[in-house]
Amino acid sequence: MTAQVGGAAERRIGGNAAVATEVAKPQTFDGTPLKVSGFVAACKLYIRMRLRESSVEEQIQWVLSYIQRGSADIWKENVMEELETGEIEFESAGEFLAEIRKEFGGGYEELVKVAELKKIEQDRRTMEEFMQDFKRVARGSGYKGRLLIREFKQGINGSIRRKLMEAENQPGSIEQWFKRATALDCNWRESRREEERLKEKKENSRILAPRSNHQEVPGQILP
């Protein structure tokens, strides 16, 4: 029944397959904690791109059709029964996917995210690149406020961290840290580029400078 409903939701927009954007379907989910984030993200994208016109019930049934084997199979059966009897109800597929993340991600996913957050470093990347990666890792870690700021400070390059911490008015929120760290990083990189341009200009000037054809002879008295 689940597979039939899931298939019906897909066929609802099947007539536009020739012009629809190709979107990968999620891999089957067996309840493994490390796989829950990828499964949820894949489901969200597919629903947004291909099942937007389907009802919430059809979207949820479609998601359930990809939950198979392992501990997830028992959970799916329980959920299907509760949905049929009206014991539980979801206002959107997003709410249902959040329940899946909560059920199977649990504290384990947070521990993995926190461990990754403590190891992430800017290194040679631009602040914008590091910031996007930091946000990705921070999502799902449970860290907020001062804890998140502390990990961000530890991850950025030392010269930028010192400038921000020595500033008269230090950033308060994590968004302020993002904004001011990005500005400092951009200024530093622009300064480096300007130094390289001046160095290159000076080197070119030295190479292109005309040389005198007169050669001095030891002991010769110049006129």
- In tens digits, what is the pLDDT along the chain, a chain of 223 residues? 555 545 555 555 444 444 457 899 999 999 998 899 899 999 999 999 999 999 999 999 999 999 999 889 999 999 999 999 888 899 999 999 999 988 888 777 778 888 999 999 999 999 999 999 999 999 878 888 999 999 999 999 999 999 999 988 989 999 999 999 999 999 999 998 998 888 888 887 777 766 655 555 555 554 5
Q: Which domain holds residue 69?
A: 2-108
**Does residue 97 share a domain with residue 18?**
yes
In a domain, 218, yes or no: no
Alpha carbons 151 and 149: distance in angstroms, whole number: 6
Number of residues written out for the chain:
223
In a domain, 125, yes or no: no
For residues 121, 125, 129, 133, the Cα torsion angle rounded to the nearest 10 degrees is: -20
> What pLDDT shows up at residue 119?
94
**Which amino acid is residue 165, in one-letter code?**
M
The domain tally of the chain equals 2
Domain termination residue (choose one: 91, 108, 125)? 108
**Which amino acid is residue 60, in one-letter code?**
I
Predicted structure pTM score: 0.53
In a domain, 223, yes or no: no
**Does residue 78 share a domain with residue 19?**
yes
Alpha carbons 4 and 12: distance in angstroms, whole number: 12
> What pLDDT shows up at residue 220?
54
In a domain, 196, yes or no: yes
**Does residue 138 share a domain with residue 66?**
no
**Does residue 143 share a domain with residue 192?**
yes
For the chain, how long is the longest CA-to-CA vector? 113
> What pLDDT shows up at residue 15?
45
In a domain, 121, yes or no: no
**Does residue 91 share a domain with residue 24?**
yes
**Does residue 90 share a domain with residue 148?**
no
In a domain, 25, yes or no: yes
**Does residue 140 share a domain with residue 45?**
no
**Does residue 100 share a domain with residue 10?**
yes
In a domain, 213, yes or no: no
**Does residue 181 share a domain with residue 86?**
no
**Does residue 174 share a domain with residue 87?**
no
CA dist list (Å): 74 to 27, 33, 78: 18, 15, 6
In a domain, 66, yes or no: yes
Q: Which candidate, 115, 165, 109, 155, places its Cα nearest to that of 134? A: 155
**Main-chain dihedrals φ then ψ at residue 195, nearest 5 degrees:** -60, -40
**Does residue 88 share a domain with residue 9?**
yes
**Does residue 141 share a domain with residue 99?**
no
Q: Which candidate, 95, 87, 96, places its Cα nearest to that of 67? A: 96
